[in-house]
Amino acid sequence: MPTTATDRLEKLLETPAETRAGFLDLLGTADQAGPSTGITQRLMRTTLLPRVYERYWRPALGRALKGPAGPSMAGEVRLATKLLDLRPGRTALDVACGTGRFTRAFGQAVGPAGLAIGLDGARTMLTKAVAEGGPDSVAYLRADAVRVPLRESTVDAVCCFAALHMFAEPETALDSFTRVLKPGGRIVLLTSARRGRQPARLLESVGGIVSGQKMFDRGEIAASLRARGFTEITERYAGVTQIVAARLG
């Protein structure tokens, strides 16, 4: 019998997982992975948001944060796929995948011989992601996004869009992403980017505190990746966001 994408994902895990509602689950009955960092993250775990997330919530919020010059959500998907250099047969990890918009696109890019893994801590998001369908190369995992439970050097690409700034331990997450990447693998991140001048810097910092999101300085993520051995680092800024891509040397 041919192996499924879920079968192949299971072989990459450090510990066995249960199958629930079409995805592998390492969190069991826990409502969430780790403590909530604020109102934005709590909303992600509701039953209502997944219904409107992909079509309304994420595009509208992204536009507000990126400004008119930033890419659309569809543009983000295309850019991430390009920056990760996804090709048939490769394995891509989409961290904090939500309802799977990026994961499905990655599944198309890696083809039947590849594997696109959508990882999220919210049961409601993954239930919606499974319901959306997608290529046979897609598999979903409910697990801690900060401490990715995959074996070392198992994926060719890591994507984490619109989530790193909501993690309680972003540096630990970057360590985890680096650990699961193969040498030469690529990473792309979309996260916050605080401007350097007042009063914009102060306003953006206050906004981050209220929403429970960390406001990274421009250049901070690139420096963190460089310290972990990444090269070929590129940075794109739009509004209060940054898209940072790099290759693990």
Enter the DSSP assignment of 90. Answer: -
**Confidence class of residue 30 from pLDDT cuts 50, 70 and 90?**
low
- Please give the C-alpha separations between residue 1 and each of 22, 24, 51, 90, in angstroms, as whole numbers: 19, 20, 35, 22
Q: What is the average pLDDT score of the chain? A: 87
Backbone CA torsion sign across 184, 179, 124, 67:
negative
Higher pLDDT, 148 or 38: 148
**Confidence class of residue 112 from pLDDT cuts 50, 70 and 90?**
very high
pLDDT at 211: 46
Higher pLDDT, 240 or 33: 240
**Confidence class of residue 34 from pLDDT cuts 50, 70 and 90?**
low
pLDDT at 86: 98
Q: Which of 97-106, 113-122, 189-198, 231-240 has the lowest mean pLDDT?
A: 189-198
Whether the predicted pLDDT of 50 surpasses 80: no
Whether the predicted pLDDT of 63 surpasses 50: yes
Mean pLDDT (whole number) for 220-229: 98
pLDDT at 204: 41
| Torsion, CA 96, CA 178, CA 180, CA 136, rounded to 10 | 40
CA angle 66, 86, 234 (to 5 degrees): 45
For the stretch 146-169, pLDDT in tens is 999 999 999 999 999 999 999 999
Q: Quick check: 242 and 235 in contact, CB under 8 A? A: yes
For the stretch 167-180, pLDDT in tens is 999 999 999 999 99
pLDDT at 206: 39
Whether the predicted pLDDT of 202 surpasses 60: no
pLDDT at 1: 54
pLDDT at 207: 43
Read off the pTM: 0.86
DSSP string, 128-144: HHHHT---TTEEEEES-
- Residue entry with tokens 């460089």: 226
Mean pLDDT (whole number) for 208-230: 84
